[in-house]
Amino acid sequence: MRRREFITGAAAWPLAARAQQASVPVIGFLRNTDAASSRPLVAAFRRGLADSGYVDGQNIAIEPLGR
């Protein structure tokens, strides 16, 4: 390997390391009712997050927890 090829490759390595995808925050939605009766609450929760710029599957992950 020639010196110039090595230097070019070494300079590109930090860019590739920074290109890794950042971790996505996970929000747990805890409920004590069944999924059907809490559907309106979950929908309102998601709308409130979306109004603040957080969209499930894009920049956050919502994990429903409960019955």
Question: What is the rounded CA–CA span in Å between residue 28 and residue 56?
Answer: 12
pTM of the model: 0.56
Say what the pLDDT of residue 13 is. 53
- CA–CA separation, 66 and 54 (whole Å): 22
Q: In this predicted model, what pLDDT tens digit does every residue of 4-63 receive, in sequence order?
A: 555 555 555 554 455 556 688 888 877 787 878 888 888 898 899 999 999 988 999 988
Domain residue spans of the chain: 23-67
Give Cβ neighbours of residue 42 (< 8 Å, ≥ 6 apart): 29, 31, 64
